[in-house]
Amino acid sequence: MSSQNSAADKKTVIRSWHDLAKIIDHTNLRPEATANQIVRLCEEAREFGLGAVMVNSCHVALATSNLQGSDVTVGAVVGFPLGAALTSVKVFEAAEAMKLGAREIDMVINIGALKAGDRELVLSDIRAVAEVVHAQKSLLKVILETGLLTDDEKLAACEISEKAGADFVKTSTGFLGGVATVEDVAFMRRAVTIGVKASGGIRTASDARKMIEAGANRLGTSSGVNIIREWRAEAGV
């Protein structure tokens, strides 16, 4: 795990656009994404030095092949976007994605169980995925879908995710109407000592800066290239 991840309880310091690029998960999770679009995603990530690409599991092999020999990590989503799959299905999906080359897994929490107060189910769901992910020396990020949660539920989700062995908590899928907010990122940063990933609605350099200042250690966005270009233009490089 990088020093940025292991020191996740501290604010991420961005000294240059290269530092920013390394914390961006360049994302295309759209159901209509084509193979050509995934190849382009990988080309952009390589060209701009982005930290990772995040794709649906059916595209992991293609992304892994295209990024071979680069420093870009391949990530896959699990139980996406609803979080309502069986734990056994989430574990299987994560394991299959890692067989194909994924080294980061973003799983959606069981939102219904969380809202029902079934902390044990939520804990066991995350822990089961964490165990299979960590066995492959990979990272687990847990998507909370903050737009659907009360503050008490957000706090419970953060506490359970950390207890279950997650490496990051993440704001949103971006598919259920919610987006990352500065308030939610700051709330999550206070609640955990693991990493915080802001995802959903981050489209500009200003958006990225606000999320980082609020405590985000990772940014999930489909606008990574535009953000880097804007950041570089502002810096005159």
Residues belonging to the active site: 106, 170, 197
Is residue 60 within 8 A of residue 74, CB to CB? The reply is yes
DSSP the chain: --HHHHTTTSPPP--SHHHHHHTEEEEE--TT--HHHHHHHHHHHHHHT-SEEEE-GGGHHHHHHHTTTSSPEEEEEESTTT--S-HHHHHHHHHHHHHTT--EEEEEP-HHHHHTT-HHHHHHHHHHHHHHHHHTT-EEEEE--GGG--HHHHHHHHHHHHHHT-SEEE---SSSS----HHHHHHHHHH-SSEEEEESS--SHHHHHHHHHHT-SEEEES-HHHHHHHHHHHHT-
